[in-house]
């Protein structure tokens, strides 16, 4: 079964996201001790580090990642969060590409089927997901992704085979003014000269 971390107090999760932008980057692990020192004393707040690890803001040892630092840039924060929500919930976004604006029932059915957990836990997953999405800007992320996509180069009309030199074709149009004469041997000499000088390899 899939596992999606959740909190029973999503408002505190949002408050912690604001804390990330205001406070310095921790040089210590984000543990319960750090949460308490930062003013997050509720028993429900203990779920916050696991959620942050799930979306890539903490590594497996609970130390802040580069994404934590990127989120501190308020001009990019919503795009950074949207990007990492889509990565963390990749299967959900495969099932529902517009998951960030799906109704509660659709999300509930998804999390229920994937986890097999009861109503309380599934409802908390939905609320946690929606809380995260409220802080992300998925439309702006989509536009930014399009701008960063490199344009494909058009294929050339003629593809050269490797190892084969390309041979250019040259057409020459020669116009001759032949002298008026009844002596056919003169014409024969002219054409023989042409053949000798122009038609040799």
The pLDDT, as a whole number, for residue 199 is 57
Burial class of residue 4 in the structure, from the number of CB atoms within 10 Å of its CB (0-12 exposed, 13-18 middle, 19+ buried): buried
The pLDDT, as a whole number, for residue 166 is 56
- Please state, in angstroms and rounded to a whole number, the distance separating the CA atoms of residues 15 and 201: 84
Q: What is the pTM of this model?
A: 0.71
For the CA atoms of the chain, what is the radius of gyration? 36
How many other C-beta atoms are found inside a 10 Å radius of the C-beta of residue 136? 21
Q: How far is CA 169 from the centre of its chain?
A: 45
The pLDDT tens digits along the chain (201 residues) read 889 999 999 999 999 999 999 999 999 999 999 999 999 999 999 999 999 999 999 999 999 999 999 999 999 999 999 999 999 999 999 999 999 999 999 999 999 999 999 999 999 999 999 999 999 999 988 787 666 555 555 555 445 555 555 555 556 666 656 555 555 655 566 666 666 655 555
- Please state, in angstroms and rounded to a whole number, the distance separating the CA atoms of residues 16 and 137: 18
Phi, psi dihedral angles at 152 (to 5 degrees): -75, 140
């Amino acid at each position: 079964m899939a596992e999606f971390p959740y909190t029973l107090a999503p408002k505190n999760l949002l408050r912690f996201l604001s804390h990330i932008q205001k406070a310095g980057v921790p040089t210590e692990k984000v543990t319960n001790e750090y949460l308490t020192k930062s003013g997050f004393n509720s028993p429900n707040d203990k779920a916050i580090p696991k959620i942050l690890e799930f979306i890539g803001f903490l590594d497996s040892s609970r130390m802040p990642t580069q994404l934590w630092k990127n989120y501190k840039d308020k001009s990019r924060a919503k795009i950074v969060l949207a990007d990492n929500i889509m990565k963390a919930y990749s299967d959900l976004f495969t099932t529902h590409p517009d998951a960030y604006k799906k109704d509660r029932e659709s999300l509930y059915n998804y999390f229920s089927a994937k986890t097999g957990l009861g109503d309380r836990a599934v409802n908390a997953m939905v609320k946690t997901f929606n809380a995260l999405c409220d802080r992300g800007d998925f439309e702006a992320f989509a536009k930014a992704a399009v701008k960063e996509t490199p344009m494909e180069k058009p294929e050339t009309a003629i593809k050269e085979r490797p190892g084969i030199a390309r041979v250019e074709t040259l057409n020459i149009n020669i116009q001759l003014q032949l002298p008026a004469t009844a002596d056919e041997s003169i014409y024969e000499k002219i054409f023989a000269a042409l053949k000798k000088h122009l038609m040799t390899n």
